Amino acid sequence: MKSIKILYEYRIRKRKNKPILTYHSAAMYEYIRGELVELNPTFAVVENNGIGYFINISLQSYALLEGKKDVTLFLHQVVREDAILLYGFAQAEERELFRHLISVSGIGPNTGRVILSSLSPAEVMEAILQSDVNTLKQVKGIGLKTAQRIIIDLKDKLGKAKADQEIFVSMDNSIRQEALSALVMLGFAKGTAEKTIAHILKQNPNQTVENLIKEALKGL
């Protein structure tokens, strides 16, 4: 069955005796799985249960979605005063890197998407970890100061993430992601589940999804 996992929170406040709906910062969609009905280098439309979702994507995800009918996109929701936007990624690792990028002052969601459309996640990671300002400056809209800020803010974070969680190690990680999604759905913390899966795959990379989940459950 096609599915979409939704975590959504909101609250009501009053101003001048009129109720106003304001969105909590934790509100988000985790992922969407459905039929790909339209694909463009900058967006995709995915239908789920009769509803078409307009999702902004990077060229990296566009390349991975081409030719597919049923897809899964890992989502990041942006709530603004005038709009609620969805950004989607064919791989959870790309979304993770996107979230790191937009945590940097001056880097908004669209700029983050431009970076990931101009460079592969591996190239972005390498540039940051190697303090390669020139590579980051190749991206349209990224000047010297912004490139330096990205490196200063993210080098330690991404270095630790790479060492501890072994993220961004492979483009072919569907087994890892399916197992991780299943464990999170079962109620395990994402960070703990990621570390457990990484440890298992380090010991034995040739795992099926079912075996990976079973082995992870033994260690959680």
Q: What's the CATH code of the domain at 49?
A: 2.40.50.140
Average pLDDT in the 38-63 region? 95
Residue 23 resides in a domain: no
- Residues 164 and 99 occupy one common structural domain: yes
Residue 3 resides in a domain: no
For residue 201, what pLDDT is reported? 81
To the nearest 10 degrees (0 to 180), the angle between helices 109-118 and 92-102 is 130
- Which stretches within the chain are classed as H helix? 59-65, 92-102, 109-118, 121-129, 133-137, 144-165, 174-185, 190-203, 209-219
To the nearest 10 degrees (0 to 180), the angle between helices 144-165 and 121-129 is 100
Lowest mean pLDDT among 69-78, 107-116, 118-127, 199-208: 199-208
- pLDDT, tens digit, 9 for 90 and up, residues 189-203: 888 888 888 888 877
**Percentages helix, strand, coil for the chain, rounded to the nearest 5?**
45, 25, 30
Residue 102 resides in a domain: yes
pLDDT band at residue 161 under the 50/70/90 scheme: low
Overall number of domains in the chain? 3
- Residues 84 and 103 occupy one common structural domain: no
To the nearest 10 degrees (0 to 180), the angle between helices 121-129 and 109-118 is 100
Task: Count the alpha carbons within 13 Å of 46 in the hemisphere toward its beta carbon.
Answer: 28
- Domain range for 46 is 29-90
Q: What's the CATH code of the domain at 195?
A: 1.10.8.10
Rounded to 10 degrees, the C-alpha dihedral 59/63/68/72 comes to: -50
- Residues 188 and 130 occupy one common structural domain: no
- Residues 101 and 152 occupy one common structural domain: yes
Among 90, 105, 128, the domain-final residue is: 90
Lowest mean pLDDT among 1-5, 50-54, 102-106: 1-5
Q: Is the pTM of this model over 0.85?
A: no
Residue 151 has pLDDT above 90, yes or no: yes
For residue 163, what pLDDT is reported? 54
